[in-house]
Amino acid sequence: MRLKSAIPAALFALFAASPTMAQSGSAAYPNRPIKVVVPFAAGGAGDIAARIITEEIGKTLKTPVVIENRPGGNGLVGASYLAKAVPDGYTIGYSTNTVHAGGLAVFKTLPFHPVNDFTPIALTFSSPQVLVVKNDNPAKTEAELRSWIQANPKTASYSYHNGGSQISANLYLKRIQASGLAVPYVSPVAALTDVVGGVTVFGFYEPVAAKPLIDSQRVRALAVTSSARLPLLPGVPTLIESGLPDTELRTWAGFFAPAGTPQPIIRALGEAVKNALEQASVRDKAHSLGMAVEYLPPDRFREFLGTDAQFWKKRYEEAGIAPQ
């Protein structure tokens, strides 16, 4: 009789302990700082967007959240590092469509799979691109720039710093039936610096990167790639308004973890991101920089990646950009 009663008692004790152990496991995360790998240089749109939101994430998770910039290779250096990181939730990444949606269209070979080697955490912001020239450029409108480019294809140089910047310029040239000289840069800061210095003539950049130079009258904004004018730049027309249909384009950014990161950790991170994006201070800061809040949780973010990859593949093909 003692044996029979002991077995159910032991089983009861085991099952009763299981929820407690699960709670202890989830409660233990996080118990040290979380590193966010940004595969772009400091000062760029992706870096600035990450810094807007990470402080609030740290408050929710009650642990420091620090950013580590690992630029290079159009985002490949930092993304490769993240793909190989230990999937324990303490090394995550903040990246963009350039890597995770356009990667397979841009690069012939990749050191990782842009979807399968990562676990999506949350989509956060989206942003159009703004076409700028040096402030003393004779072109005061997009139409005037268009005429100049068509007449001077050999000297019509443009600078770009990521996939969104490159494809915006290429599609623009396709729409105006012109050609230009592409000059790549590692960051929007470097690309914009050479527009200001007259090294390159024009370029497309995220408003967050271009706005300070627009405000200081070092560059002039001629058009945006959104479907409607930006509240941030109300006097700047869209390319569609300028007579160039089918030129709407937006870039986005979101959080990722290495593949294999436990789902309870992904859910905790996703909720922390959601909470951060609901803060008025975060939303106001994003809007002031020309970014729109566009939250998607992990499952819906993964679905979105599949659809958006097809969108960017078609855009790259249309722009005539061959995989490198």
Domains along the chain with CATH numbers: 33-126+251-319 (3.40.190.150), 130-224 (3.40.190.10)
Omega of the bond leading into 64 within 30 degrees of 0 (cis): no
> Looking at per-residue confidence, does 183 or 24 come out higher?
183
pLDDT of residue 144: 98
Mean pLDDT of the region 127-131: 95
Omega of the bond leading into 30 within 30 degrees of 0 (cis): yes
DSSP 306: H
- Count CB-CB contacts under 10 A for residue 274: 16
pLDDT of residue 24: 33
Mean pLDDT of the region 95-105: 83
pLDDT of residue 25: 41
Q: CA torsion, points 217, 230, 176, 220, in degrees to nearest 10?
A: 0
d(CA 124, CA 278): 11
Mean pLDDT of the region 136-141: 96
Residues of the chain above pLDDT 70, percent? 91
User: What number of CA atoms fall less than 13 Å from residue 25's CA on the CB side?
Assistant: 12
Mean pLDDT of the region 74-94: 95
The answer to whether the beta carbons of residues 269 and 120 sit under 8 Å apart is: no
In the predicted structure, residue 10 carries a pLDDT above the cut 80: no
In the predicted structure, residue 79 carries a pLDDT above the cut 80: yes
In the predicted structure, residue 146 carries a pLDDT above the cut 50: yes
In the predicted structure, residue 101 carries a pLDDT above the cut 50: yes
> Looking at per-residue confidence, does 157 or 290 come out higher?
157
pLDDT of residue 164: 85
d(CA 163, CA 305): 16
> Looking at per-residue confidence, does 115 or 135 come out higher?
135
pLDDT in tens, 204-220: 999 988 999 999 999 99
pLDDT of residue 199: 97
Strand partners of residue 140: none
Mean pLDDT of the chain: 88
d(CA 162, CA 306): 20
pLDDT in tens, 258-317: 999 999 999 999 999 999 999 999 999 998 888 999 999 999 999 999 899 888 888 888
Strands 202-205 and 157-160, sheet pairing = parallel
pLDDT of residue 17: 38
Q: Which of 45-54, 57-66, 176-185 has the lowest mean pLDDT?
A: 45-54
pLDDT of residue 27: 55
d(CA 324, CA 73): 11
Mean pLDDT of the region 106-127: 90
> Looking at per-residue confidence, does 124 or 189 come out higher?
124
Residues of the chain above pLDDT 90, percent? 66
Mean pLDDT of the region 44-56: 90
